[in-house]
Amino acid sequence: MLESLIVLEHRLAANHSCGVRKDRQMELPLTADERMVLRARRRTRCGKEVLLQLPRDQALQPGDRLMDGEMTLQVEVIAASEPLLRVSAVTLLELLQAAYHLGNRHVALELHEQELFLPDDAVLASMLRSRGLKVSSCNRAFLPEGGAYGGGHSHGHGVAST
């Protein structure tokens, strides 16, 4: 017997409590790029296929809870582990300069006081090393900054002009 596709149509408000049974709750691991796509087929941690059919208002965030049309199934978004570069520097200024140059290239960045994380890319790793930065590969959840216009990777689309 074929299992039917689960269609996720609703995003719960952060303060909304939902009385879904424990056996009707699942986790949906998504990479940072996958969290930007609100209409796609994905697979839950337990292997069930789901179809995202969400309003295109904002990117998904870890901790978001999604529901099916009947509001009987709850799926929590979690940040999936993905290949990243970890960048550190001797001085804070060197790290700030690296963030500046990566930002000029529209590279998604996760910022911390002593290090940066960005998607694994050999060209960027070479550029950063040539600037004297320490670069290493790792696999972990990626939580990039949302951007100047509120979280979406918009490159100015939908931004009102004056």
Q: Provide the pLDDT for residue 93.
A: 97
Which domains occur in the chain, in start order?
A: 6-79 (2.60.260.20), 81-141 (3.30.70.790)
CB 137 within 8 A of CB 83: yes
pTM: 0.81
CA angle 27, 51, 53 (to 5 degrees): 105
Q: How confident is the model at residue 158 (pLDDT cuts 50, 70, 90)?
A: very low
- Residue range 84-90: average pLDDT? 98
Alpha-helical segments (H) within the chain: 92-104, 122-130
